[in-house]
Amino acid sequence: MKLVEVDGTEFVEGGVCAAKGFRANGICCGLAHKPLTGTENTAAADNALPNSGKKRDLALIVADKECTAAAVYTTNKVKGAPITVTKKHLETGTAQAVIVNSVNANTCNADGIEKAEKMCELAAAELGIAPEKVIVASTGVIGQVLPIEPIANGMKALAEGLSYDGNPRAVEAIMTTDTVPKEVAVKFSIGGKTCTVGGMLKGSGMIRPNMATTLTFITTDADISAELLQRALSDTVKVTLNRVSVDGDTSTNDMVCVLASGTAENTPIKKENADFDAFECALYAVMMNLARMMARDGEGATKLIECAVTNAPTEKTAEIVAKSVICSALFKAAMFGEDANWGRILCAIGYAEAEFDIDKVGVHIASDKGDIEVCRNGAGVEFSEEKAKEILSEEEIRILADLGQGGGAAVAWGCDLTYDYVKINGDYRS
């Protein structure tokens, strides 16, 4: 899918390894498959390609030096054990490594905290750092005991395989029902110094605009205080990950964290100024594109749907309306069928919990195949069904809703609802 450019930034390769001083790796330790044995248990075998049948399930990201750090977590009342441990570790606003596994969420387990802490201890021992400097995350099936033995047995190979171009292995290791890896990085300038922000994300199902269902890991070589790093992350989550929906479910293990090493040697960002704005813009570029990737790779999805609301009474109203549209199961099903049933769009706008005059609303449907008006002043207008079908045949669809009553605007992202979504979730544990 196409990346969306943001002024002041330029896309670069490398994901979480794009920023200076970050290494990563991912291996198959055997959480879902039998671990490699005998002569096969080598670094080359651990780095086997996905089609080898040995999907990676354990990832490590490490900075060359201690970083300022920030995170945002799920709002679900049920929280995975790694969330609790990471929150405690980040009380100092610093970290140096991230250890993460897929397959098993380590959630709703009596020994969950113990296992999450053990993962940090195992990683720290190999890296020669304190366990409190390790962020831990898990994703996968909820309510199954996490076996720590495969993780312990694989930790040495995981650490030994760390490299400054190890991001592809790490991003594969965090995938669950994801069908494609999701990573992006940008470079930008602060005071004449080139800085980089890079990130990787997993997320395909159990996605709702409420921190979304995702594990997202971001690295940067910019020098920024922990307080402002947290502020930039919290602000950016609201207009990126919190505006994605696949199926309306909010997970238990959602986490987005960012490590800032300061190795770009820019003037330290300690107050909200032009440098802070430049950093936040770059962070937005990475997280917005990751959010779009997540929506496009929704379980069973064939289309990315973007709903852009303009001329709303307030930005919050625009956000509520945009989310209402992308969350509508009836609308999402219509998009799968390439059916310009605009009444479902207006219906979803109408039940949005915000105050505005529905009789002033206009709606266009657009894609790279064109733009067609389907509603004006709250009522339908004549349009070519044939042209609408052509527009909806594209992979990326845009719903443009003009509320005609203010200057507020917002964008949200979702996907179509297909037969495959039910099939995937009908046998998720198998």
Q: What is the pLDDT of residues 85-139, one digit of tens each?
A: 999 999 999 999 999 999 999 999 999 999 999 999 999 999 999 999 999 999 9
Short-list 104, 102, 241, CA closest to 176:
102
- Cross-strand partners of 104: 141
CB count within 10 Å of CB 381 equals: 13
Half-sphere exposure of 92 (CA within 13 A, CB side): 14
pLDDT digits (tens, 9 = 90+) for 314-328: 999 999 999 999 999
Q: How confident is the model at residue 32 (pLDDT cuts 50, 70, 90)?
A: confident
Query: What are 269's two structure tokens?
Result: 């960002």
Measured CA to CA, the distance from residue 170 to residue 157 in angstroms comes to 13
Measured between alpha carbons, how far is 370 from 145 in angstroms, rounded to an integer? 51
Nearest by Cα to 182 from 336, 102, 87, 286: 286
Catalytic residue among 86, 107, 139, 213: 213
Confidence class for position 46, pLDDT limits 50, 70, 90: very low
Is 283:315 a contact under the CB 8 Å cutoff? Answer: no
Contact in structure between 226 and 268 (CB atoms under 8 Å)? no
* Per-residue pLDDT tens over the stretch 328-366: 999 999 999 999 999 999 999 999 999 999 999 999 999
Contact 201, 240 (CB under 8 A): no
Count of C-beta atoms within a 10 Å radius of residue 225: 16
Nearest to 184 by CA among 166, 172, 169, 196: 196
Domains of the chain and any CATH numbers: 10-296 (3.60.70.12), 304-426 (3.10.20.340)
92 in active site: no
185 within 8 A of 12, measured Cβ to Cβ:
yes
CB of 7 within 8 A of CB of 279? no
pTM over 0.85: yes
